[in-house]
Structure 1
Amino acid sequence: MFDHVLIVDDEPIIRNGLKSFIDWGGLGLILEGDCANGKEALAVLREKPIDILVTDIKMPVMDGLELTRQALAVNPSIKIILISSYNEFEYVREGMKQGAIDYLLKPTLEAEELIAVLQRCKDLIARGRKQVVEHQQLVKQTALLDRKRLEHDVIRTLVASDSGTRFSDLFGIAGAAYVCAFVTADGLYEWQETYGNLHISMMYEDMQTLFYDWSEIGCAPILSGEGLLLIYPVVSLNDGGRSGAVQSLESFQTLVARELAASVTIGCCLALETEWLENGMNRCRSAAARRFFEGMGSIYPWNDEDTKANEHGPTDIEELRGHAMQQRMRSESSPIAMIDSCITRWKSMRPMPEQVRREAYELLTAFSYRNGDAKPLPDFRELIRRCDTIDQLEAFIRCSAEEMEQPNRLKLTDKGHGAQLIAKAMEFIKLHYLEELTLQDVADSIHVSKSYLSNLFKKQSGHNFIDYVIELRLHEAKRLLMQNEIKIYEVAERSGFNDVKYFSKLFKKMTGMTPVEYRDKHQQ
């Protein structure tokens, strides 16, 4: 790093000599210029970052002693070298008392002597800069430790649901209002699938570090599995304070996007120092929950709508649990209409997102039972949890319902002529699988031989023709078993099995339960 030097002397020959016989660049120095008196030099010192001042003592307008005093007032870390004559020792002593590093005699001045003093000045400057850096690091580490202790206190208060802790109890800043902001990463589960759970934890830690660099005050505890909570003081709770809080959070949001290439949604509120910490947390989380209905990547200030949701919660809106959902599903003439009704209800009434997710799980489970697919559905719960917004959840529900309404949909190996033939064959099968259907019947429907169809069906779908028909019939039997009023022999007939004993035996082999056991288990 280069240090900057200024030469001051009223004699041009001295100034020119000092400038010419030193290799300033070779010493790691930059000569900023030269002045004829202290007044000119002081003007330069106030405009440029001068590290080393080489000045004569006796000069007109402003002498070297006054320049030394004022230069140190402008820049206390500046290093000053005095140049004097033999008869100026008392002035030199006064200059050294004021803070000059050394003095040189004009009559005997040699380049090596000046270089040695300049080098000593450079060493002192480097040592001083190192001490400043170390001090700054110590201050930063101490502040970070204080913030970590504050994080611990906040988390402990929230975990304990301690409603007796106020903002002023933890932060101790008199007359302040506080911004509470709940930060959640958008597309969290996509990040998890791509990079793993550890990456998500590291990303929130990086956000926390960004906040501590971005704001000199406040804390940012990480709430495991949820997000990042920001708490920092502001001036007031008036409208300017509210809009200013949102603007400041927008700058933090932009910082996260730039540094981490991540989108975040933030719910925020302003709280008085006398308010409970837990209330501030609940408010900003309630505001952040608006992301589910209004979209990701925004900042949502807490408002009166959030007040109602926060104070009364999801109990204001009747929640449909499993049995009630299944009863409604059985009574509906069109299960898709019930899905439409639920989604419309969620969007208009806006219950808490967790209630919506619970009902969505019960809805898909009931839909699955109605369609005869009553196996456990653990994947539904996890996939529903991954939906960040109501639009994503709606798309998932409709896609899942469509798949369940079209059971045993076979994936064909290609899209050529053979696949087109098998697709037509499958359409014919789905229209007639409840009848006495043979391979020859299907072959005739698409105008090919029975042997050709048998080989092509296996090649394209990976299934034998008769296995596929049996799967369709079993699926229909499961659906019918969910209805109490239908007898077992009726279930067999209506699902395409003419022999009830064969049906019962095959059903148990495929499901591990008799038809009666299956009905009893899934209608409880």
Structure 2
Amino acid sequence: MYKVLLVDDELLDLEGLERFMDWDGLGMEVCAAASSGFEALKVLEAQAVDIIVTDIRMPIMSGMELARRALELHPKLKIIFVSGYEDFQYAKQAISMNASGYVLKPMDDEDMRRTLVEVRETLDREGEHSHLQRCFSESEPLVKRELFLQLLDGMPDEARVLSLLKRVGITWRTTRLYTALLEPDDLSWKLNGYGDGAKAEMENRLETAVELFCAEERIQACRTERFHYALILEENVDSGRLRRLIEQAVSGMPLTVTIGVGPAVTGLRELPDSFEKAKHALGLKLFLGKGKLILHSDARGPISAKAKDLDSILQALFAAMSSYRLVDVDDCNEELFVWVGNMETKLEIYQLFLHIVSKLDAYLHTINEDFYALLGLEKKHLSILYHLETIEDMKSWLRRRMFELSERLQRKRQGKKRKLVAEIEKYIEERLEHNVMLRDAANHFSFSPNHLGQIFYEETGVYFSDYVSLRRLERVKQLLGDPKLKVYEAANRVGYKNLSHFSKQFKEYYGVSPGDYRRHL
């Protein structure tokens, strides 16, 4: 339905036109009726309108002035003027403004209906043309992409593809060409914290950056999948210039990109070979790192020397973790990656990681611990290993997990010791009036005296016998606050039998004798 705005300062004329014209039959609806040009402009600012039917002669703002201002707001607006015979001179102005119709008063319903039909037909034709243009505009990128991918995958009909490419504006000045692939790094997790709107904005910014660069360098490119692009370059375009694209493509975004480059070939028919080698170059990111340009001729580097036996490395790793020797843990991690360096595919590396985790979990069960419980992981979380894109990322991930496990095992051990020491302290408090000996405490807790004494010192920083003496003195200090007790009675209550020895210890620790301390209370 086309939307119509009626404008007339004569309310009866306005109401009659709105009520008696068969708007539904014309495929139209009256969206508003205004009694002045100013009121009509407010309607135009607030909503889309297809047709204005307006009286020419209106106070303050004439229909002509309204038409001029309305066309500034909506250039495709259709305008039908209504005027009496005496104002027929306005017809010339109406014609100069490309008016869609001019109806004389007193208005004949059939004249108005015929004029509205003509306007509707004009709008229909323009709509069809606009639709065709829009369809072509929307489909052209898809056509380009399909043709581009046919070039890279192998052309079934070279003459036809070349003809179609030319029609959509893709041509090359030489037959010596090569391909490149642009891929964002760590895309599987870097965008996890962003909403769909933010992701779409980054996608558009990346696409704009690639398009601008390719326009400047006269490079043909197409998007192969979200955030990924394939490029076809003429041989005289130095691949080194692609390094500028690596920086430009992700400017202001939390991403880096890696570009793999294939060799130059002769003719479009050989492009698939260059494309396959560009893919291989991009795959070298696993070994050579990300955020860089990788040529098909780049090598992985020397294969590592023969690795040590895997089981012996894992045994050494488990021992280092259990005893909290982090330097040794790191050394074992490095030795494990000698094995990784000898592998050819990401799948092989992933399977090795799963083997290491399985062995580690089995070892932890021998000491009543669980790999997944200690790290707060589920088995499905290990899939992140397959999404890590370089060996350095994998090494870093494994090192962090090994350090974290070592730390948690150490804390658990310390927690058990802390609980034991708390029980020893309680044991001492309950027996201060007796002669508390380390030997007796060790027997009570089923430890050797040396082991128990070492645990106690490690956790408190005080030797067992010194702690007992300090607690006794603290207890006497509290008892001295009771005026009913004599000094020797307070000392006797916490096991001091020799008053002279007690007074000497008290003065050494508090700086005053027991008697002087009580006098100053």
TM-score normalised by length of structure 1 = 0.41
Q: Radius of gyration: which is bigger?
A: 2
TM-score normalised by length of structure 2 = 0.41
